[in-house]
Every structure is written in structure tokens, then in C-alpha cells.
Structure 1
Amino acid sequence: MEINFHGIGLSCFLLLLQFLNRMEARRGLGPGEQDWGYVEVRKGSQMFYWLHYTTANVSAFAERPLVIWLQGGPGIASTGTGCFEQLGAIDIDGKSRESNWVQHVNVLFIDSPVGTGYSYVEPHGRYVENNTQIALDLVTFMKSFLIRHKKFESVPLHIFSESYGGKMAPEFALELHYAKERHELRCNLRSVVVGNPWTSPLDTTLAYAPYLLQLGIVDQDGYASIAAVAAELAASIYAGKWLHAMEQSSKMQEVIATYTGGVFLYNTQRPVRLDDDYRYGEDPQLRDFMLSNVTEALGLTHMPVWMAQNATVFIKLGREILKPAVHIITKLLDETQLRVGVYSGILDLLCATPGTVNWINRMQWRNKHKYMTAPRLPFRINDVLEGYQKEGGRFSMFWVYRAGHLVQQDNPAAMAHILRTITNFG
């Protein structure tokens, strides 16, 4: 934009400057100021973001950290599941969410990878096929975002994620750190946090049989059958047969359903009925809400339709989904000063806590001894035991009671404790 200031008085100039500074803040859906839009991260690949400025009682939004939220899947929309089912200011009934994060921090929802949610790929564009490309797309996005929102350059930045985000977020943080070191952008990145992470798929899968047996959900026959499929899957992973391993992963879920009578993968203690068909991020009610209320409120009716789950995103990443990302976390701990956090709802089967603990115990980094010798402490909220935490060597682990795969939904009080511990907001 080119503006001619010749002949404009000082008072008019100041008013115009204030207007330009406020252009980024708009009213979307829910309380507080917001901003949203697209960034072309590669030719024909458009990434969508939705920024929610904090509604905390502060004189300026920059007094609170900026938290990026990345959803799992891969292919589940942050703007849908994250915003309206987990941590946004309102839910899909339009009611205020008491446990929302916007009351504490600035929250940036990003629909990643491209093709997810409101993000889209034009006919001449390309989907991603590996996690490194996901990370590089997000770095490209951040360069553009921070040009538009320069005040966030100095604000403490934290990346939170869950599920498959346990692979996306660490690599994004690492590439963002590298870009910062190359002086390609300015940001105040402080931490990356993964929740019920799919960081080491093999460790997760090998934990299924013993976890179910110890909970009494399967007997010895069920244990043996599930362990046998896990062994086959492990052999495929060791052989680098990634697509075959994906097929065995689907078989694993079928065997689990057979021997458990259909236990709920995302929370083994949640009551479920025979006709319940829950799919992560694909609630039909959420889809209807996004296509009507949200799309209209954000003025996106002329844009490609919001997608709850883009199967193409998942398929394109088929060879990547079962690969481990533990080495990326090791690099973060050894090559940067970032804090790394892991939290796990102990009732989750899909990314079972024992598997997560196994890869953490096996992971090696320079200051691991500080973590291993640190005490594992209980944390209580209003005198109620909500879980345990262990911190040392810039690494933190949180075990969360009464929660499965979706900790923010199942135990928002514990999740608020984790958010405050990591970001130190307020």
C-alpha cells in the first residue's frame, strides 16, 4: 500500500497511523479481538490461521505469551477441533468455555498441513509428503505472520500440540530455531509441548497389549493376539516397509476391538454405546457449525469449503506416519535452549502413556541426568490430586489423571496447570 502524506495534518496523520495499527484486529466469532487469513507457503499451497488475542485483564495483549496450537490426525483442523471442542473461548453451542486458554494467553490456531480445515491446495499446488515439509511450511507461514504482527516478535512463543502433533511440533520448533539462527525472522520461541504424542509409533504400539492386560480390559488370549500383531508391525517398521506397517496398524485396531468388545481408543474409561461412531475431529455437529456459523462470521463463504478431515493429507503422508521423531526432540534438547514438555492422559490407549514413558526413558541427551535424578512430584488443584510431574534438563513430563487422548477436554484443570507451568503467564 502506498500512502501520500503530503498535506495531511499531524492530528490526521496520528489518527491514520492508529487506524493502520488496528487493521490487524477484527471481530470474528466469540469474545475479544481476532485476526485470520491465508499465507501462501508454497506455490498453490495456502495455509490458514486464526489468531485470538487474549481477553486477559492486561493493558496490552503483548503482556501475555503467544501459544500456537497444532492439531493431530494428520489432517484434523486446529480451527475446528482445537478452537471449538477444546480450548477456544466458546463451544459449538455458542456458549462460553470456562476453561478456555484465550482468557490467559494469545492463541494462534493454524490449519496444518496444507489441505487441512480452511487451508487448501490449488490444482497446481502440492500437498506435503513428509514432516520436514510440514515444518518448513510452518516456518514460511511464521515469516509472513510476524511481518503482519510485528508486536509478537518479542512476545514469548510456545508451540503446543497433541497426537500426531507430537511429530509435527518438534520439527517445526527445530526448523523455526534454525531460521531464527540464520536471521530469517525474529521471534522469542521458548518451548514446544506435545500432548499424548505419536512421537514414537513403535513404542506406542508395543505398549498396547501389556497396557490392556494390566487394566483388565483383555485376558491372556487377547494379550497374545494383540502382541502378535504388534510384533508383525515392528518387523515391518524395522524393514522400512512403511505402507505395509500402516496396514498392520489398521489390523491392530480391529484385533483390539474384537478382544475388548470395542473399548474407546481415546479414553478406556469413557462409557460408549454399540452405535457410537466417534472419529477424532470429525463430529458431524462440529462440521455443520464450521460450515455455517464460522465460515459466515469470518467471511470465507467464497473460499474452499472447510474440511474436518482431508483424507488426501493423510494418504500423502502414508510413508511418514509410523516413522519416529524422537531424534528431533533430542536435537531440540542438545542444540537449542528451548524447553520441551510432554503431557499424557493416562487413560488413553491410542497413544498409551507406558509407550511414551518408554521412549522418554530410552532417549539420550546431554542433560538427561538432571531429569532422571529429579523427583517425580504430585500436583494438586483445589486439594484434588490431578497428576504428577517430573522436570529436569529442560525437559518436563506430566502424567494426567482422569484424562485420555484429549486432556484439555477430559481434565481442563490439569491442563491449565500445565499451560501455566510451561508459559508462566500472568
Structure 2
Amino acid sequence: MQLLNLKGFILLLLLLLQCLSCVQARRGFGGSEHDWRYVVSEYTARPLVIWLQGGPGVASSGCGCFEQLGPVDIEGRPRAHNWVQHMNVLFIDSPVGTGYSYVEPHGEYAKDNKQIAQDLVTLMNAFLCQHPEFQLVPLHIFSESYGGKMAPEFALELYLAQQRVELRCQLRSVVVGNPWTSPLDSTLSYAPYLLQLGIVDQRGYSEIARVAADIARLVYNKKWLAALEQSSRIQEVIEEHTGGVFLYNTQRRVHVDDAYRYGEDPKLRSFMLSNVTQALNLTHMSEWMVQNATVFFQLGDDIFKPAIDIVTRLLNETPLRVGVYSGILDLLCATPGTVNWISRMQWQRKLQYTKAPRRAFRIDGVLEGYEQRGGGFSMFWVYRAGHLVQQDNPAAMSHILREFTNYG
């Protein structure tokens, strides 16, 4: 789908719709028939959920769709807890240059969070013009990790564009999972989190805390790129003192020879090139990558900047519901750091949130986590999950989906 704006950027959309009654399909992958157009009737009776991946530069078309929440996995097998069975899901490869998306002229990558958000608004404007039936469908933005910076600003810019009557949509909520919304809060939580779990001793705590303090000084002096560079050092120190604990789930069993990182299952790239690229007839596109390092480095000056002010604006200036969910086994965006920036955040109805009871939630009688709601804001602490809640604890994720969309 080509979108003509000042930059002439192109983003690929993968739209997977709830299958209620299939029409003629085309041969796809995984030993069955698939269709990548509309394949259902009455699909507009279900909400539209946008999924934004993290990284920045990890592709929603791969990691989100085939590793986490799409209808089939990278073995071509049906996924029991997929989102597509309940709602319309729009996987967007963003920022531009990620996954199947690319930019024209070459090199016009996003440099900051606002540019990412404005690009996404341009995309949505074109999408809603081409598919006006979705202008009246409830719209929800979900994301994880670096999406915890992208999604709130995207939601704000989309809401403002709607207020200016530049487009028509029914945006209702924005929800971020294990978010990189306040990078420094996440970083400062590493040492105490690891010490309290018994993963490091006092010496390890002290050395990790020392590097975190160095990063804090750089952030306070707005030396953003230097802070990002130093973040590599803190991961080296963590590896040294933990024996290589898995950053995305401290309790996951990971073999010393495993090469898996966030969105980088060794099998994923081969699967996408051999199956998805062929099935979607995108062989003429630039080669699909799990994560585009160029996208990451082009955002280098912005990665450590916080986006708490954007979340505050959403709560103060819009009627949108805002949610955060956090798998408590994650280290990279550890829950204590997330709780810290939420506790400092000030908005007009905050007292409703702080006075609201924190309740346990159970699925089929099993305790899956805790939730607190009030003042337009919701927080979910999720058991048995790390960075990828929808993958680690799909039952809890379904509970969160229902809370915002009434589906899941």
C-alpha cells in the first residue's frame, strides 16, 4: 500500500480478520488455504486492534503475527490463543524501514517518536479512506516494549487529527505491555530487582547499580546517545554476574547455546522468506528482516527519552482509556520500574486511581495477576509472564483484551 505524503514513505499492512464465514481463499502456507484480503462477513461487528511491536525495528508482521498472537505459528500450526479469532487485527511494521515497510527516498527514516506517530497517522488516514467501513468500528491500539513509547504518541496524534476533522475513526483506548515508556526507570530497577530475586549477590547488585547511576547522570544531562551506548555496558555486567539470565523472562529455561532474543527466533527469518514473502507475492520488496538495525540507530538520540508526558496528556486531554500491563518476570522493562514512573505521573483524576483497590484476577479459578483501575488508567501485574505476556500467559492476556475491547 503506497501512501503519498511529503516523504513518500511506504508501509505494508497485514490485516487478518476474524473468520466467521470464509469466501474463496488462496493457497498459502502451513498446508491450508489462507486469504490476505477480507475473508469474513459482518467483520465490522468486531473491534479493530492495531498491534505495534518493539525494538525499535522489530517487525509486527513477523514477531507479532507469527510468534505471539496471530492465527498460525512459524511451524504453520494453528495457535489456540490467537487474537484474530475474536477481533480484526492490524499488524503494522513501524517505524518505516521495519519488516516489509520501506521509505522513499531511501534513507528517510524516523528520527524521533513524534515523527513515528505522524507517519502512523498518515497511514491510518489512507487506510480509513480506502476502507471506510472501519471508520465506525471501535479502534484500540496495543503494543509492547518500545511500543510503549510509540503507541501513546500515536494515539495522541490520531486523536488530535480526528479533532481537526482530518480523518474519522472510533479510537477508544491505548494499551502498552512491558513498556519502555521511561527507560531510566527501567534501568534503575535492574539492580534491586535482581538482588531481591536472588539472581545476583551484593557485589553484583553494587556493580549493576553503579553502571545504572552512570546512565542516570547521562540522562539528567540529556546526553541521550551516550546513555544508549552505556546501556550495552549494563547488559554486559548483568550477564557477567548472572551467568547469562534471559533478559525477557528471568525464569525461562534457556540453553547456553540458544540464540533467541526478542523477536529473533532463529527460525523466524527463514519462515518469513520461504513462506510469507512468497504467499504475499512480495519478492520484489526489499528483503524482510527480523530487526532492522538501521531503524534502531537512526532513533539513537531518542531511545532513552521518556514518554511519560505523552501518557499524561492522553489522560488529561482525551477521553481515551489508557492501560499498562507488565509480566513480572521481565527484566528489560521490569515491573518495579514501570510502577515507579506510574507512581510519579500526575494527572487530573489520579486520586481515583490511587484510591482504587488493587484486586486479584483469576481465570478458571487460577490466580493470574492483579489489577488496579481508576481515573481513566488501568495497571495489570501478570503472573508467569515476562516481556511477552501474550505469549507467556495468554489466559491473562485474554482478560486484559476483554477489559478494553469486550472481546478476547
Cα distance change, pair 95–245 in 1 and its aligned pair in 2 (3 A): same
- Distance in 1 of aligned mates of 2:5 and 2:299: 18
What whole-Å deviation, never above 9, does each CA across 1:166-217 have from its counterpart, x for those lacking one? 0000000000000000000000000000000000001100100000000000
Q: Which residue of 2 aligns with 1:233?
A: 215
TM-score, structure 1 normalization: 0.90
Please give the secondary structure, in 2, of the residue aligned with 1:39: coil
Cα RMSD, aligned residues only: 1.2
CA contact (8 A) 1:39 1:48 kept: no
TM-score, structure 2 normalization: 0.94
Q: Find out whether 1:289 has 2:271 as its counterpart.
A: yes
Q: Find out whether 1:221 has 2:235 as its counterpart.
A: no
Please give the secondary structure, in 2, of the residue aligned with 1:344: strand
CA contact (8 A) 1:42 1:137 kept: no
- Distance in 2 of aligned mates of 1:225 and 1:326: 28
CA contact (8 A) 1:45 1:127 kept: no
Q: Which residue of 1 aligns with 2:11?
A: 47
Shift in Å, 1:227: 0.4
Amino acid at match of 2:139: L
Please give the secondary structure, in 2, of the residue aligned with 1:121: coil
Q: Which residue of 1 aligns with 2:256?
A: 274
Runs of 4+ in 1 over 4 A off after TM superposition: 56-59
Please give the secondary structure, in 2, of the residue aligned with 1:192: strand
1:377 pairs, out of 359, 371, 393, with 359
Identity between Structure 1 and Structure 2 (%) = 71
- Distance in 2 of aligned mates of 1:258 and 1:42: 47
What whole-Å deviation, never above 9, does each CA across 1:60-100 have from its counterpart, x for those lacking one? 11111000000000000000000000000011111100000
CA contact (8 A) 2:316 2:347 kept: yes
Q: Which residue of 1 aligns with 2:126?
A: 144
Q: Which residue of 2 aligns with 1:203?
A: 185
| Counterpart mapping for 1:59-98 below 5 A | 60-98=42-80
2:335 pairs, out of 332, 344, 353, with 353
CA contact (8 A) 1:56 1:102 kept: no
Query: 5+ unaligned residues in a row in structure 2: which ranges?
Result: 22-39
CA contact (8 A) 2:260 2:266 kept: no
Shift in Å, 1:273: 1.7
- Distance in 1 of aligned mates of 2:5 and 2:97: 12
Q: Which residue of 2 aligns with 1:174?
A: 156
Amino acid at match of 1:372: T
- Distance in 2 of aligned mates of 1:162 and 1:42: 29
Q: Which residue of 2 aligns with 1:398?
A: 380
- For the pair shown, the structure with the greater C-alpha radius of gyration is 1
- Distance in 2 of aligned mates of 1:96 and 1:123: 39
Shift in Å, 1:219: 0.7
2:135 pairs, out of 153, 159, 165, with 153
Cα distance change, pair 405–42 in 1 and its aligned pair in 2 (3 A): farther
Q: Which residue of 2 aligns with 1:13?
A: none
Amino acid at match of 1:211: Y
- Distance in 1 of aligned mates of 2:106 and 2:215: 36
Shift in Å, 1:364: 0.3
CA contact (8 A) 2:327 2:381 kept: yes
Shift in Å, 1:123: 4.3
**How many residue pairs are counted as aligned between the two chains?**
390
Amino acid at match of 2:103: V
